[in-house]
Amino acid sequence: MDRGAFIPSDAAQRTSVAEILDRYATEVFPRLAVGGKNLRPNLARLKAELGALSLLALEPSHIAAYRDKVLSTGLNPQTVRHDLGLLSRTLKTATLDWGIHLPRGLPTALVRLPKMPNSRDRRLMSAEKRRKGEEERLMEAATAYGGEIADIIAFALETAMRRSEIVSMRWEHVNLKTRTVLLPTTKTGEPRRVPLSRRALRILAARPRGIGPVWTMRPGVSQAFERVCRKAGIKGLRFHDLRHEATSRLFEKGLNTMEAAAVTGHKTLVMLKRYTHLRAEDLAEKLG
């Protein structure tokens, strides 16, 4: 104390994990994409298991035990990583912005993240000798299904946009002259401008132009997609796999890594790689 090196830790002792999580939700969530709505379940799990502990008492062993417990319930490793990331950001904010000193540093820094499972590599299968390819069958079934689902599927394959990004599109953000669509709110929290291929442009140009949402089929896209897949006799395909397919096609068209990332919005090469699945047979053709 005489040297001025003593930093009191009474604030960490008085403050619980639940209190800083609530404060983070109140002060930081509103600045995030969709007001942090997607993080509410993560926050609830953390509060239920760790909320009663004080910040001073919180140790890496508590966090590791939480990790193992929620993994044992069948929670996806990626979701558990999001939980630990949320806790780490909250503790860092408490230290840097709220003046709560953690004498032993960030306990999350000493906890191993769960190993990620192998990424899905589901792509649309090509045509066989006597059978149409999955894309053709999918589009035929979607057209027969009616409504907007056929255009939405085709648009997803052209743009690599997420389902939530497609259904939230608004006409005031679409510029047909520059062939771009602005996404002011994305999963990463940063706006993104997506270039439109000629096919994507034709899909939008054929729709009735107005003010407000581009698509009227906002809810129920995933359910309609499942029905279309059943009608087409396609198994194991999810709507999100269209983003994997579209991302892989960007590289097959010759785009480099930075160009593809600008289209898809991936912030790291690791995540972009998880969405890219190039067919070995196509690469063999290029090798000559």
- Give all strands of the β-sheet with 174-175 in edge-to-edge order: 174-175, 180-183, 192-195
Query: Whole-angstrom Cα distance, residue 146 to residue 143?
Result: 5
275 is catalytic: yes
Comparing C-alpha atoms, which of 199, 215, 196 is closest to residue 207? Answer: 215
Marked catalytic residue, from 45, 123, 162, 192: 162
Comparing C-alpha atoms, which of 102, 76, 78 is closest to residue 90? Answer: 102
Query: Whole-angstrom Cα distance, residue 172 to residue 244?
Result: 28
Query: Whole-angstrom Cα distance, residue 67 to residue 111?
Result: 9
- How long a stretch of residues is the chain? 288
Marked catalytic residue, from 89, 187, 193, 207: 187
Query: Whole-angstrom Cα distance, residue 288 to residue 285?
Result: 5
Comparing C-alpha atoms, which of 239, 255, 264 is closest to residue 124? Answer: 239
Marked catalytic residue, from 45, 244, 266, 274: 266
Helix (H, G, I), strand (E, B) or coil at 8: coil
Marked catalytic residue, from 45, 67, 192, 243: 243
Marked catalytic residue, from 81, 179, 240, 277: 240
Marked catalytic residue, from 192, 244, 249, 275: 275
240 is catalytic: yes
Residue positions annotated with a catalytic role: 162, 187, 240, 243, 266, 275
